Structure 1
Amino acid sequence: MKKAVTVVTLIGSAFLFAGCTFTTDALWPSLSGGVPTATKKPPQKIVINSSGAKTTTLASNSRGLSNKPPKLGATNFRVKPATPGRNTGTVVGNKVAALRDDLKRLQTSVQKQNNDLQNARRLANANSRGYHERVASMRSKLQLGTTPGNPVLVKEWNSSQAQLEKVNNDLSTMTALSSRVAADAALSAYILDSTKAAFGLSGAIDEDHSQLAVLEDDVSQTVILIERLLTELSDDIRRQTNYIANERGELNTLALAVKNGEFFGPSLATTSYTMGSAKAEAGKSRISSIRRNRDKPIVVIRFDRPNVNYEQALYTAVNRVLQRKPDATFNLIAVSSVSGGVAKSALNSNATRRNAQAVLRSLVDMGLPPSRVTMSAETSANNPGNEVHIYLR
């Protein structure tokens, strides 16, 4: 008995889950406008195995995407102690001594903040490594294929989520530390202003002004040190915030993979973020590699039988678009057939809308933000069955 074949068309090329192929050169045609010429090198082909295959090759989906923890700062902000001085007994001398004591207290606080920062970094790096070890173990099992809803993987997923929460707690620690460092920065600015103002006080001797000059240098160095600490800490917080947000999307994608017993690839949110960063660093737009043809859908899913297995092909198509255009948005259109009369047409419309909603949920589970997809419906007399089309906006 022949196996049923599920068809998902990618820009005019068909995905046949029973082992058929499509050509990547046809997926993104030339923008030159000329007539294509034959090349000696055969076009690269990607094979989509049947849903019952034991292994699935996913290297092409994850190539170029880093799944490593963010690199945090490594500077150790050591405080240079304040230069000691003698109290001359004058009014200005007493002021210098008081300001020096204020500086010492400030430096003690800054040293504590620095120690807390180093400890927070070590803990964050350790928790991130622990999280990625768990996720890597899950991915390796999913890439080989497993049973849907495997309880062992469900347990590992819960463990990964708990580990990511530890990383999130490390972020909270850094955020609280940032508030304390900001308070030290405000105090350092006040001490520096007070030191400069002390030069205008009357009743000073030459030694008082000499000590004030030394004290001003010490305070200025402390101010610069605090500013550097605060800047590096802010960078760490920004990296950790983006990292945690991306990994939450990865966990959502892994949850879908555990549910299906098959790993599609990294979260689409991670693809968009990573490729967007690479685009900004390179300073070159990737949009020139995409042919903006609104008449051709990037994906056509034909729901001509129950339980259409479309998610892997859907992920592959959308992931490729995001690699070329990280800020891409999509139109999802439910196309229902009008054949069979008015009653049949109404049933087709309702069924196609449900199918489109299921496709949208799949995209969201894969990490694509809902705001990047608009959904609509239309009818067609040319389609023999119900379909869901996805267009690049």
Structure 2
Amino acid sequence: MKYQIKRVMAVGAALMISACSFYEDSLWPSLTGDDPTGNENEQKEQAVSPSTETQKAQSPRNASAQPERSIIEVGQPALGTGNFVPTGVTPGQSTGTFVGAKVKELRSELQRLQGNISQQNGELQKLRSQLVSNSRRYHGTIAAVNARLQVGTTPGNPILIQQFKSAQTDLNRLAQDVATMNTLANAIGSSSTMSAFLSESAKSALTISGAVDEDHQQLAILEDEVNRTDVLIDRLSKEVAGDVRRQTNYVTTEQANLNLTSAGIKSGEIYGGSLLNVAMASASGGLQVSAGPPRTTKNRRPLVVIRFDRNDVKYQRVLYNAVSRVLEKRADAVFDLVAVAPDSGGKARVALNSNKARRQAEGVLRSLIEMGLPPARVAIAAKTSSGTRINEVHLYIR
């Protein structure tokens, strides 16, 4: 009798462990390339590790032990420091000749041009100051959000949502500043055109007959001042163009990171930098890659397997970690995302599970896009399998 009781207790304990293992094994990244089904020993080992890690991530008391995520914070690129002040125009005396009148006209045009340059330089200095101010405010807000996510918080924390909106406003101001600077660059281009016109006009005036020596002397001084102004405009144009290029890339990068911050606030966890930014940081060439049509998964090992054995499967963080590590090593990596449904239970059940698996795969794709992965890098497919009893989504790397 005692033997029977012990046997029943042992079987009951084994069933409880199996159920717990099955529950906690809802997600496991197969980074080693092992078969997600594996053998019995492998399944038991995989079930323990993610559950332990998940419990630590969700427990505030273990927040300090949580492994920190690397956050790609490029910071605002350095702005130019040039201050472009024209040297002025040398006054001249009227000689009463036609050439003298032409010199006076050109001198007036040069003064007007230098006035425009002074105005453009003042606008540039103001824009630089605004960019620095808005950038500091933006990064201060984002740092506060990331610090809170780093230690863990509730999904959709309203305080973080408010801070996120504030950061978004600051980033929009930065984008507007960059757009204004681009408009300024176009205005400087017009000044450059005017400078070239004045230079040619001064040279042409030297060939006009009826001039006195003083006319040519004033034309020589004027031509020299036009050339100096042209050099100043060229320096101004190059520095503004460099600022626009760097700040545009910076705002684009931060917009991608901000989208990922939004996903982190939704889940209450911190991820890191946008997946596209991770790939760009690791790339040495272009990143114009596309997954194209899906490929067969036969004899391929999945990078990540997500098992949907309950309604709310927390897969985002592990998914991000896995894809991020891949992109750090292979910046041009593309992926196959496959919805897998059980093929048992009759045609109606199979059809129902297949539709549900497709929706779950679409949800995983949306998560990847929110994390910054371009949708062109992911090919979606669906299949049924006799090797699974629940819906799964597999992510393969090519």
Same fold (TM over 0.5): yes
* Map of 1:20 onto structure 2: 49
Cα deviation for residue 386 of structure 1 reads: 2.5
1:79 aligned residue: 86
Q: CA deviation at 1:173?
A: 2.1
2:30 corresponds to which of 2, 6, 10: 10
Quick one: structure 1 residues 19 and 118, their matched pair in 2 at CA, closer, same or farther if it must change by over 3 Å? farther
Which piece of structure 1 moves more, 145-154 or 165-174?
165-174
Question: Which amino acid is 1:53 matched to?
Answer: S
Q: Match for residue 186 of structure 1? A: 193
| TM-aligned CA deviation for residue 391 of structure 1 | 2.2
From 72, 78, 95, the counterpart of 2:102: 95
Return the match for 1:328 from 333, 343, 358: 333
Which residue is 2:119 aligned to? 112
Change (3 A) 1:91 1:226: same
Shift of 1:20: 1.7
After superposition, give the CA deviation of every residue in 1:296-326 in whole Å (9 maximum; x if it has no partner): 3322222233322111110011111222233
Q: CA deviation at 1:82?
A: 2.4
Q: Contact between 1:337 and 1:345, CA under 8 Å: does it hold in 2?
A: yes
Aligned to 2:305: 300
Deviation track 1:310-357 (CA, whole Å, cap 9, x = no partner) reads 111100111112222333332211122213332222122112101101
Q: Which residue of 2 aligns with 1:213?
A: 220
Does 2:385 align with 1:380?
Answer: yes
What's the counterpart of residue 177 of structure 1?
Answer: 184
Aligned to 1:341: 346
- Partner in structure 1 of residue 229 of structure 2: 222
1:273 corresponds to: 280
1:143-200, Cα deviation, whole Å (9 max, x unpaired): 1001111111111111111111221221232122223212211211111111111122
Contact 1:58 1:264 survives alignment (8 Å): no
Q: Taking structure 1 as reference, are residues 378 and 104 closer, same or farther at Cα in structure 2, changes over 3 Å only?
A: same
Within 5 Å, which residues of 2 pair with 1:231-242?
A: 231-242=238-249
Give the secondary-structure state (helix, strand or coil) at the position aligned to 1:215. helix
Aligned pair in 2 of structure 1 residues 75, 128: CA closer, same or farther (>3 Å)? same
CA contact (8 A) 1:87 1:97 kept: yes
Going from structure 1 to structure 2, the CA distance change for 1:168 and 1:201 (only over 3 Å counts) comes to same
Specify which of 55, 59, 76 is matched with residue 53 of structure 1. 59
Aligned to 2:175: 168
Partner of 2:289: none
Amino acid at match of 2:223: E
Is the Cα–Cα contact under 8 Å of residues 334 and 353 in structure 1 kept in the other structure? yes
Note if contact 1:92-1:208 (Cα within 8 Å) is conserved in structure 2: yes
Going from structure 1 to structure 2, the CA distance change for 1:57 and 1:200 (only over 3 Å counts) comes to farther
Q: Does 1:147 align with 2:154?
A: yes
CA contact (8 A) 1:61 1:319 kept: no
Task: Give me the TM-score of the superposition, normalised by structure 1.
Answer: 0.82
CA separation in 1, counterparts of 2:204 and 2:107?
14
Identity %: 42
Does the CA-based 8 Å contact 2:57-2:152 persist in structure 1? no
Q: Specify which structure has the higher proportion of helix.
A: 2
Aligned residues: 354
Alignment CA distance shift 1:139-1:17 (3 Å): farther
Shift of the 294–314 alpha-carbon distance from structure 1 to 2, 3 Å rule, reads farther
Paired residue for 1:28?
none
The answer to which of 365-374 and 11-20 deviates more is 11-20
Return the offset for 1:19: 6.1
**Equivalent residue number for residue 253 of structure 1:** 260
Partners of 1:19 and 1:49 within 8 A in 2? no
Residue aligning to 2:12 = none
Please state how far the C-alpha of 1:368 moved relative to its aligned partner.
Answer: 1.6
Say which one has the larger Rg.
2
1:361, CA displacement in angstroms?
Answer: 0.9
Q: In the alignment, which residue of structure 1 is the partner of 2:13? A: none
User: Relative to structure 1, is the Cα distance of residues 312 and 184 closer, same or farther in structure 2, using a 3 angstrom cutoff?
Assistant: same
Gaps of 5+ in 1: 22-45, 282-292
Match of 1:61, SS state, is: coil
Is the contact made by 1:58 and 1:143 (CA closer than 8 Å) also made in structure 2?
A: no
Measure how far apart 1:17 and its partner are: 8.8
Residue 57 to residue 114, structure 1, CA distance change in 2 (3 Å): farther
TM-score by length of 2: 0.81
CA RMSD of aligned residues (A): 2.7
C-alpha distance in 2 between matches for 1:57 and 1:205? 85
Deviation at 1:136, TM superposition (A): 0.3
- Which sections of structure 2, spanning at least 5 residues, go unmatched? 1-15, 37-42, 287-297
Q: Is the 8 A contact 2:68 2:150 kept in 1?
A: no
